Chains A and B, each alone.
Chain A
Amino acid sequence: SQQGEEDPQALSIQEGENATMNCSYKTSINNLQWYRQNSGRGLVHLILIRSNEREKHSGRLRVTLDTSKKSSSLLITASRAADTASYFCATDAGTYKYIFGTGTRLKVLA
């Protein structure tokens, strides 16, 4: 089944460092989204990148998309302790159908 697979599964960095996490998927997509989840809470949308886009920025977030490799990356620059959360990519598997991966657990140490 179509699914985003995030890599690494867990990442621990110092405050101020950059955090990079990757997502790979299996089939063609129209768009890819990244979400953040604080422990035991709902997911919050961060950014959407369409299949005809290669890079997108939002504040300290930078997302890239390589459709030839079926992969995307999320870069968080100058990380803060408050960025500690799990990050998920979601791909569209048809209208009204969003498929999520297992997520990357990011821990930012103060």
Chain B
Amino acid sequence: ETGVTQTPRHLVMGMTNKKSLKCEQHLGHNAMYWYKQSAKKPLELMFVYNFKEQTENNSVPSRFSPECPNSSHLFLHLHTLQPEDSALYLCASTEAGEGTEAFFGQGTRLTVV
């Protein structure tokens, strides 16, 4: 248990569906991240929020829409996804400052059919 909780753990959705992934941390961290992990590829940094402000959008398609209502919660809203979007989506959080350890959630295994 890392203190970062992701729900759901598994999600199967059709290409026309709309769903949301949720991430929650109560570690007092100020930065939260979404990563995508596909087979045989590096972890792809998708979005970074620092003090609820988005500071990084790594050329992610608009069918992925992040939301950070407060420093403890992070959402990833999904709509009209493609089969190639199937992957493990990982949320992480860190304290403010340089060289801090990232705490990861267990991930959401997403399958787009």
Partners in one complex: yes
Assess whether A48 is in contact with B99, with CB atoms less than 8 Å apart.
yes
With contacts A88-B43, A100-B42, A102-B40 taken as known, whether A45 is within 8 angstroms of B98 at the C-beta atoms is no
- Chain B 79-113 interface mask (CB, 8 Å, partner A; 1/0): 00000000010101010001101111111010000
Assess whether A98 is in contact with B42, with CB atoms less than 8 Å apart.
no
The interface stretch among A56-64, A76-84, A89-97 is A89-97
**Chain B interface residue number, banded:** 20 to 34
Assess whether B102 is in contact with A45, with CB atoms less than 8 Å apart.
yes
Give the nearest-CB partner of B44 in chain A.
A100
Per the bound structure, the CA–CA distance linking A92 and B33 in Å amounts to: 14
Q: Which 9 A-B pairs have the closest CB atoms?
A: A42-B104, A100-B43, A31-B99, A45-B101, A43-B104, A42-B106, A96-B31, A102-B42, A96-B48
Per the bound structure, the CA–CA distance linking A88 and B35 in Å amounts to: 14
Residues of chain A lying within 8 A (CB to CB) of residue B90: 42-43
- State the Cβ distance, A65 to closest chain B Cβ, in Å: 13
Q: Name the prevailing secondary structure of the B interface residues.
A: strand
4 additional contacts (CB under 8 A) given A4-B42, A44-B104: A42-B4, A50-B99, A97-B48, A98-B45
Give the nearest-CB partner of A50 in chain B.
B99
Per the bound structure, the CA–CA distance linking A23 and B35 in Å amounts to: 20
Assess whether B99 is in contact with A43, with CB atoms less than 8 Å apart.
no
Residues of chain B lying within 8 A (CB to CB) of residue A40: 88, 107, 109
Counted as pairs of residues, one from A and one from B, with CB atoms less than 8 Å apart, the total is 67
Instruction: Report B's interface with A, CB cutoff 8 A.
Output: 2, 4, 6, 31, 33, 35, 40-43, 45, 48, 50, 55-56, 88, 90, 92, 94, 98-99, 101-107, 109
Residues of chain B lying within 8 A (CB to CB) of residue A102: 40-42
With contacts A30-B99, A33-B101, A42-B107 taken as known, whether A96 is within 8 angstroms of B42 at the C-beta atoms is no
- State the Cβ distance, A74 to closest chain B Cβ, in Å: 16
Assess whether A42 is in contact with B99, with CB atoms less than 8 Å apart.
no
Interface centre among B35, B56, B94, B104 (most CB of A within 10 A): B104
